[in-house]
Chains A and B, each alone.
Chain A
Amino acid sequence: MDATYAFLVRLVPEIAGWPTWAIVALSAGLPALVLFHFMALAPLVYVYGERKIAAFMQDRLGPMRVGPYGVLQTIADAVKLLFKEAIFPRGVDRRLFVIAPLLVNVGAFLPFVVIPWGARLQPADLNVGIFYVAAVSALSTVGLIMAGWASNNKYALFGAMRSAAQIVSYEIPSLLIILVPVMIVGSLSLQDLTLAQAGGLQHWFLFRYFPIMPVAFVCFFVAGLAETNRAPFDIPEAESELVAGFHTEYSGFFFSLFFLAEYTEMFVVSAVSSVLFLGGYLAPHPALQQIGPLPMGWFWLWFKAWALVFVMMWLRWTLPRTRVDQLMYVAWKVLLPIALVLVVLVGGLVLLPATADGFPWDRWVGWPLTLLVVGFLFTVMIRALQWNRRREQELGLPAHGVAAAGQLPR
């Protein structure tokens, strides 16, 4: 907010003379507006990305017709959903039916207040930052239950109950693991958490106390995945079992609101994971932090969050769905004990003066590991492309099936 105020005053010096409430409204409202628009339009890109990623993993092409390579597909879908009739089935509680998607969206958008995009590029640096995030994202649970109840539909109620149980169960290991970086830093503020990882990739919390923190990262990511109802934990929206779970009865605009909320929550979970473990807006090497006059912090946070969103989508299209009781088993009997052990372990390690700054081999682990993983992914990609080309040459067949190119040998 201060940064915005300084910027506005430089542009239009008269603002300094305005009454306080006007100044606050402008310098807080303007970034909020910009951020909100940005984040509300982002799901358009996520949905397109998901459809294309799913298609390529399933050996098909995905949207190709609407716009070049189908880039306008999501816009077309959004427009269609806006024009669709919003059906209110008989017997629904109209007020709750309408409020439910709004509440879910509130729970998804509020965490953006504290996500730091740069050293001073943050709507509000609350000193209880991470705690605020955890508290506020629980609002969406209330919205989900409201949606299931107000729908007057057994299946929707099933989905809502399952969803509530799932989210509440996975919040506990998630919060416990949040404690781990907080203990290392000693502060709940997201800005402090990011700055404690300064100095390059080797200082990120992911490589601290190696191999303890990577375990924490994986557990946190899994818990976050379960909180956003994504596969393999998407029992509440299990398509083949309950049609669409708690949002079965929603159509048109309200359905698109649920969609919006889901993708925004995915981004929030990824962004928070990046801040906690991957260094937030810090570049892997300090030299890349500022390219000329342009600060690159926002780019790096965006890049890391997007990479994690990609991993979420990757998991969705690969793994089958766990059953409800198996889901609960994982939360309570696997993640929770691991989280408790981690808290105690890291807490002890932080207190001991010898390991207060991490294990001695931490600084040498970061770059090799990253390069290994990135290199592996690269080789897999290259080999996949080469396989296609080899297939065309060896077998004399087009890469996508005999009849697709109309080339049945006659």
Chain B
Amino acid sequence: MSAALPGAWISDWDKDSLDTDEMVVNMGPQHPATHGVLRLELRTDGEVVRAARPHIGYLHRCFEKHAENVDYPGVLPYADRMDYVAAMGNTLGFALTVEKLMGIELSPYVQTIRVLMAELQRIASHAVAVGTYTMDIGAFTPFLHLLRDREKVLDLFEWTCGARLLYNYNWVGGVSHDLPDGFVRATRDFLREFDSVTFPELLELIIHNRIFVKRIANVGVCPPELAISHDLTGPNLRGSGLARDLRKDFPYSGYEAYDFEVAVGKGQYGPVGSCFDRNWVRVAEMRESSKIVHQALDRLEKMEKTDVHEKVPKRVKPPKGEIYFRSEAPRGQLGFYVVSDGGINPYRVKVKSPCFAAMSAFHHLAKGMMIADVIALIGSLDIVLGEIDR
């Protein structure tokens, strides 16, 4: 019997030492505000949380075991389903890792398509993140406005590759479908509306709204050392003031040619590293992604088209070796550690998901806040349980 080691059963942390005033509140797997099936065990004293313990694993689908039993292109649909809100990033990460292992270089055309899709996906993913976050805080309308714009992005994706949510788009050596005619014009129409209407409205209506700011500006402050120690990456790290972005530091897929800024939390309404700053970074990143998409569209119009399947190998058989490669997914640094033994199937695929690291810091951040603030904290970390549990 090799279950947990003795003395480490689930709820023995509270039964003996529970104060008479304390209460164990379960924000169970089914809850409107935990984004996915997440169980939070909170030990509260009235409204104040004394300790928090997240329980994950409700969505574990054995991705790493499956990856060992299918061939490299077959891993890509499984990879899509990890972070299902931002699926382009997952396949991009795995495809780049295997391409690095095999030494495949892609044409600028395919690289530009990849950047375009990744940034459109970033806009859509942050729209969901910011929209659901404001809905948790109580404002229902920005969620629907942002989802309306996300629908337009999903329409573009469906037009290109046939799928709205899980695309299997980035293949090892290329992409699955070329861009259809008229795609550039349709994307520019979408961006025109997004830049001129949705984004300014979002800022005015909710981001600078006094009630919203008062709810989240002093809550969940994450100092930079804690962020680095717990491997918070992406908007969570940039919200704490560090301007680190893989697209600038270790650019891949041609990102070095694009001109954009890295959004950083500046502590406009409270201490740096609060929930507001993390949310603000996501909002600002939507605007930066829109800039990148404009530049990518400009480059696409001038570039000569190449066949998107020309570098896709007939059989993907990387040489024996191992590599760890990371890419900037909308939720942070998505890392793939691939060990190849020279065969058709990968020997080992380990995924470092950014939300996994963010949840590991949760109980440090949640100590001392009120229950309503716990909701604010979870939303600001922008977790997707599919990625945490794989």
Chain A contact residues, CB within 8 Å of chain B:
54, 57-60, 154, 231-232, 234-235, 238-241, 243, 317-326, 395, 397, 401-403, 408-410
Contacts and interface: CB of A to CB of B under 8 A. Distances in A.
Nearest to A244: B32
B297 interface: no
A86 to B, nearest CB: 22
A318 B371 contact: no
Nearest to A60: B144
Contacts of B32: 239-240, 243
A408 B183 CA distance: 10
A318 B158 contact: no
Given A154-B23, A317-B140, A320-B138, 16 more contacts: A59-B145, A59-B148, A60-B144, A60-B148, A232-B138, A238-B372, A241-B33, A319-B211, A320-B209, A323-B372, A324-B47, A395-B192, A402-B190, A403-B151, A408-B186, A410-B180
A239 B25 CA distance: 17
A129 B205 CA distance: 40
Contacts of B7: none
Interface in B164-200: 180, 182, 185-186, 189-190, 192
Contacts of A410: 180, 182
Contacts of B215: 320-323, 326
B82 to A, nearest CB: 25
A409 B158 contact: no
B182 A409 contact: yes
A319 B371 contact: no
B139 A240 contact: no
What are the 10 A-B residue pairs with the smallest beta carbon separation, nearest first?
A321-B138, A58-B144, A320-B139, A240-B33, A320-B138, A403-B155, A320-B137, A240-B136, A409-B182, A320-B212
B137 to A, nearest CB: 5
Interface size band for B: 35 or more
A408 B189 CA distance: 12
Contact of A321 (B23, B25, B159, B211): B211
Contacts of A318: 139, 141, 205
A232 to B, nearest CB: 6
Interface string B43-63: 000010000000000000000
Given A320-B212, A320-B215, A238 B138 contact: yes
Best-buried of A235, A318, A323, A410 by chain B (most CB within 10 Å)? A323
Contacts of A322: 211, 214-215
Contacts of B136: 240-241
A408 B375 contact: no
Interface in B94-141: 134-141
Contacts of B139: 318-321
29 contacts: A58-B145, A59-B144, A59-B145, A154-B23, A154-B25, A232-B138, A234-B138, A235-B372, A238-B138, A238-B372, A239-B32, A240-B135, A241-B371, A317-B140, A319-B209, A319-B211, A320-B137, A320-B138, A320-B215, A322-B215, A323-B373, A325-B370, A326-B211, A397-B189, A401-B151, A402-B152, A402-B186, A403-B158, A408-B155
A403 B33 CA distance: 30
Contacts of A54: 140
Nearest to A318: B141
B206 interface: yes
Contacts of A321: 137-139, 211, 215
B89 to A, nearest CB: 23
Interface in B12-41: 23, 25, 31-33
Contacts of B151: 401, 403
B134 A320 contact: yes
Given A241-B33, A241-B375, A57 B214 contact: no
A401 B144 contact: no
A320 B132 CA distance: 12
A232 B140 CA distance: 11
Contacts of A324: 47, 370, 372
Interface string B332-351: 00000000000000000000
A240 B138 contact: yes
A321 B185 CA distance: 40
A326 B214 contact: yes
A317 B189 CA distance: 28
A325 B137 CA distance: 15
A20 to B, nearest CB: 55
A289 B293 CA distance: 61
B372 to A, nearest CB: 5
Given A323-B215, A403-B158, A58 B152 contact: no
Nearest to A58: B144
Best-buried of B140, B185, B215 by chain A (most CB within 10 Å)? B140
Contacts of A58: 140-141, 144-145
Contacts of B159: 408
A403 B209 CA distance: 32
B85 to A, nearest CB: 18
Nearest to A397: B189
Contacts of B47: 324
A243 B144 CA distance: 20
Contacts of B23: 154
A239 B141 CA distance: 14
Best-buried of A232, A234, A240 by chain B (most CB within 10 Å)? A240
A296 B56 CA distance: 63
Contacts of B152: 401-402
A99 B189 CA distance: 57
B157 to A, nearest CB: 11
Best-buried of B141, B152, B158, B215 by chain A (most CB within 10 Å)? B141
Nearest to A154: B25
A232 B209 CA distance: 12
A231 B136 CA distance: 13
Contacts of A59: 144-145, 148
Contacts of A234: 138
Contact of B185 (A241, A326, A409): A409
Interface in B357-390: 370-373, 375
A59 B192 CA distance: 18
